[in-house]
Structure 1
């Protein structure tokens, strides 16, 4: 089994930038994905240029944090407040194509900023899984073709929890994304979920040749922390879960 080890949230904060810089340099991640609409985006670009991993940075589309890059979405009360993202569409607006044009305008601005910076991995994922929602998915799909993205993170393993609606909707999401023809792996999860599924010998993980595991590195003092797990030390978790012994690849290798 080969692992795409993706560091989410590059560019989100100064601490995230330092954490991902260290994780990439020390081999704890094989690629990362950057948030384009924050004050720390330019710092992330400088770090990737300095260490020569511009070709290992995908786009982490973001509708939750920071300031939108476009004006239309700022007018939508379910998406922004006081010119800042405040994403709370609720179940109806999440599953019907409301405000697809305004969302598409914002996504395109983030894509353009990513490409203008010179990043070239052309892999895409989303902050807090925003592109699971129908308006975001429908807005994004034509942009994937327009800007020639090559790969995408599929709906996460933990989404499928046995509930009827999730099983049916997750299948629909996969069928819709399949039509883009973008490369992807069939399994993706956090380190904690990966570890749990490995211990359970979950066939959805064990049978796969390539899988994706995502982390959220931040550097706090001298400590490299996975922010997603609430403070797990990245180095310790990599050795404990056996990830340190795996072969790492990038999205271009699938």
Structure 2
């Protein structure tokens, strides 16, 4: 049984980036994904270069901040910001999503880093409109793509695009606890040796920048504390789970 523990939102704020790196250095996090439209991308790249064993992919953004592309009117509000996750697909046109997500991948490549995989902020690539676009971009760049869900038909749609066998997203919000994570780890330990799982997480430190633009704040620090605890690290060892990142998929 092989496990990827991916921390979303690398580069969102400086404190978030520091928290993710610490959760990698001192916890069970093995992978992260960068928000390439963030003003803090240079800081994230600097820390990524200092930690080459941390897998870093692209966190495709459609619902936070502003786009990298110029003419993508269907995904931006009158102020030029992305629509919120609650209304984005009431407006979005496929060509604008593809243009912007391609620009984000190209921005990542321009840093000199080699991306391990693709996923998306707020898991928007699960949406019926966005999933074919994400699959197409992953195929174009030869990158694995996070499983949008665990439905068999989704795996078939991925075709030759690499993916994990399962995706676990319960370690979030009110469900963030030792018991939730330990339950996920037990489920991982019961799989076959050739099966792979991603556990999604959002560890972080907190700064005023995060407070100003996210509704998910204090729980990120709780996630960090659990993911770096001796209790969880020892449990992973006891279960014989092999930690990996998407580069090893």
Question: TM bucket by the smaller chain?
Answer: 0.7 to 0.9
1:109 to 103, 109, 114: 103
Provide the rounded CA distance (Å) in 2 between the counterparts of 1:200 and 1:154.
16
Change (3 A) 1:229 1:173: farther
Distance 1:48 1:91, change over 3 A: closer
CA distance in 2, matches of 1:92, 1:232: 31
Q: Runs of 5+ in structure 2 lacking a partner?
A: 208-215
Q: Larger relative CO (CA 8 A, sep 6+): 1 or 2?
A: 2
SS of residue paired to 1:60: strand
- Aligned position for 2:201: 215
Task: Give the structure 1 partner of residue 213 of structure 2.
Answer: none
Q: Structure 1 residues 93, 30: closer, same or farther in 2, change over 3 A?
A: same
Question: SS state of the match for residue 72, structure 1?
Answer: coil
Residue 170 of structure 2 is aligned to residue 176 of structure 1: no
Q: What is the aligned partner in structure 2 of residue 80 from structure 1?
A: 77
Is the alpha carbon distance of 1:108 and 1:200 closer, same or farther for their aligned partners in structure 2, counting shifts above 3 Å? closer
Matched, 1:145 2:135: no
CA distance in 1, matches of 2:62, 2:180: 29
- Is 2:62 aligned against 1:63? yes
> In 2, distance between residues paired with 1:147 and 1:235?
35
Query: Are 1:37 and 2:37 counterparts?
Result: yes
CA distance in 1 between counterparts of 2:44 and 2:237 reads 25
Native 8 Å contact 2:164 2:196 kept in 1: no
Q: SS of 1:69's equivalent?
A: coil
Instruction: Identify the range of structure 1 (228-237 vs 206-215) with the bigger mean alpha-carbon deviation.
Output: 228-237
**What do residues 155-181 of structure 1 show as CA deviations (whole Å, max 9, x unaligned)?**
246xxxxxxxxxxxx45433322x133
C-alpha distance in structure 2 between counterparts of 1:114 and 1:7, whole Å: 17
- Residue matched to 2:49: 49
The residue aligned with 2:190 is 206
TM-score, with normalisation over the residues of structure 1?
Answer: 0.76
Aligned to 2:7, the other structure's residue is in SS state strand
Equivalent in the alignment of 2:14: 14
C-alpha change, 1:92 and 1:227, in structure 2 (3 Å) is closer
Which residue matches 1:99?
A: 93
Structure 2: distance between partners of 1:119 and 1:36:
12
User: How far apart in 2 are the matches of 1:230 and 1:145?
Assistant: 32
Count of matched residue pairs: 230
Rounded Cα–Cα distance in structure 2 between residues aligned with 1:85 and 1:9 = 16
Contact preservation (8 Å) 1:103, 1:135? no
Moved over 6 A (4+): 200-205
Unaligned runs of 5+ residues in structure 1 are: 158-169
Aligned partner of residue 232 in structure 1, secondary structure: helix
Check 1:200–1:235 CA distance in 2 against 1; reply closer, same or farther (3 A cut). Answer: closer
Establish whether residue 188 from structure 1 lines up as the match of residue 168 from structure 2: yes
Aligned to 2:126: 132
Which residue does the alignment assign to 1:163? none
RMSD: 3.3
